[in-house]
Amino acid sequence: MLVDNTHSFRFFNRGPSSVVRLVFFTVLSLLLMFIDVRYRYLESARGTLSVIVAPLQAMATFPVRMWNQVDDYFSAQSTLKADNQMLRERHLQDSAQLALLLELQQENRQLRELVAIPQRAEFQTRMAEIIYAERDLFKRKIIINKGADAQLQAGQVVMDDIGIVGQITRVYPWLSEVTLITEKDHVVPVQVLRNGLRTIVYGAGDTSQLTLRYMPISSDIQEGDLLVTSGIDGVYPAGIAVAKVTKIERDAAYPFARITCLPVGGVDKNHQLLILSTLPKLPEMPVLEPSPEELGNTKAKRRN
């Protein structure tokens, strides 16, 4: 016997209509909302549901978050590279400006000290600037920007704001050659400021070294003594600082001590120098009158 399945299916599928179900669920939703607001019964249910849903939300937003992080990383790298390049260029510019500023400050300080040097009555100073130094490493010479046009003469003394630097040895029309006191075997008569002991300081061919030769080991000279010009040579005026004693070696086996000095003037540092504009006027050599015996001998020779 055949059963009509179509009629049975229709029977079991019968139920409330769509409108009834809409109204039912709407009322149920409003009732649940009222109960939740009034009695807070669904707080724990929402907390449990959020814990269950959180991993799903994290998994859903993971690709977007990863993309944002990668984009931020590369953007930060590009920004850091640009900032580093800008800071490096600014650092180089600031370093160059700082070096120039320090050089200008040093030059201004030296110029102020040069101007502050009291003018001697018999020696007027003239300022000059170093153009370049001798290319030969074995020569301690410099070229300055004053020459015959400034009425310079060979033999004039050159100094800086601290002490003696050298002496003009050759004059050109617009330039002059200055031999430094550190030139090998260049001599400057000096005396120890502490006790007045006179001696001669010699150039050693090194800008940072001078030597005192032929000084007995018993000489009253100590490390740290300041050597100034003695003025007995008629070239260097007296009382100008030349060098400071830095090392003394005394050996009983040798009659002379080995004494090393350091020049106090900036023989290899400064750009501006002072030139003593005139050479010292030395008194004339005394004329000795001949004795009567010498006069008689002279007359006898003339008669013969």
Could you tell me the fold of the domain covering 125-276? Thrombin, subunit H (2.40.10)
Rounded average pLDDT over 77-102: 77
Q: Assess whether pLDDT exceeds 60 at residue 122.
A: no
| Tokens (6 digits) for 14 | 């019968």
Burial 217-238 (b: 16+ CB within 10 A, else e): eebebeeebbbbbbbeeebbbe
Rounded CA separation 110/108 (Å): 5
Structure tokens at 23: 């109204």
Which of 132, 185, 176 has its CA nearest to residue 157? 176
- Own/partner long-range contacts of 142-145 (Cβ < 8 Å, ≥24 apart): 142/166, 142/177, 142/178, 142/180, 143/175, 143/176, 143/177, 143/178, 144/175, 144/176, 144/178, 144/273, 144/275, 145/174, 145/175
pLDDT tens-digit map of 13-29: 566 778 888 888 888 88
> For residues 14, 20, 25 and 28, what is the CA-based torsion angle, rounded to 10 degrees?
-120
Top-confidence residue, 130 or 103: 130
The residue count for the chain: 304
Residues 263-284: what's their mean pLDDT? 74
Instruction: Tell me the C-alpha distance between 193 and 245, whole Å.
Output: 11
Give the per-residue pLDDT at 188: 93
Q: Where are the alpha helices (DSSP H) in the chain?
A: 5-12, 18-39, 43-116, 292-303
- For residue 195 the two structure tokens come to 């006790």
The answer to whether residues 163 and 265 touch, using CB atoms and an 8 Å cutoff, is yes
pLDDT of the residue at 210? 92
Residues 153-157: contacts with CB under 8 Å, at least 24 apart = 153/279, 155/235, 155/279, 156/275, 156/276, 156/277, 156/278, 156/279, 157/235, 157/236, 157/237, 157/275, 157/276
- What is the rounded CA–CA span in Å between residue 222 and residue 259? 9
Contact indicator for 200, 213 with CB cutoff of 8 Å: yes
As a whole number, mean pLDDT of residues 267-272 equals 76
Rounded Cα–Cα distance for residues 16 and 38 (Å): 31
The predicted structure's pLDDT at residue 187:
92
Q: DSSP character for 1? A: -
- Structure tokens of 119? 């003018």
What is the reported pTM?
0.56
How many angstroms separate the most distant Cα atoms in the chain?
194
Could you report the per-residue pLDDT of 131-189, keeping only the tens digit for each? 888 777 667 888 999 899 888 888 899 988 888 899 999 999 999 999 999 888 889 99
Q: Both tokens of residue 18?
A: 């769509």
What digits encode the pLDDT tens for the residues 201-211?
A: 999 888 788 99
pLDDT given for residue 42 in this prediction: 65
pLDDT at 4: 52
pLDDT digits (tens, 9 = 90+) for 225-241: 999 998 888 788 888 88
Identity at 5, one-letter amino acid code: N
Quote the tokens at residue 127.
């300022």
302's tokens: 């003339």
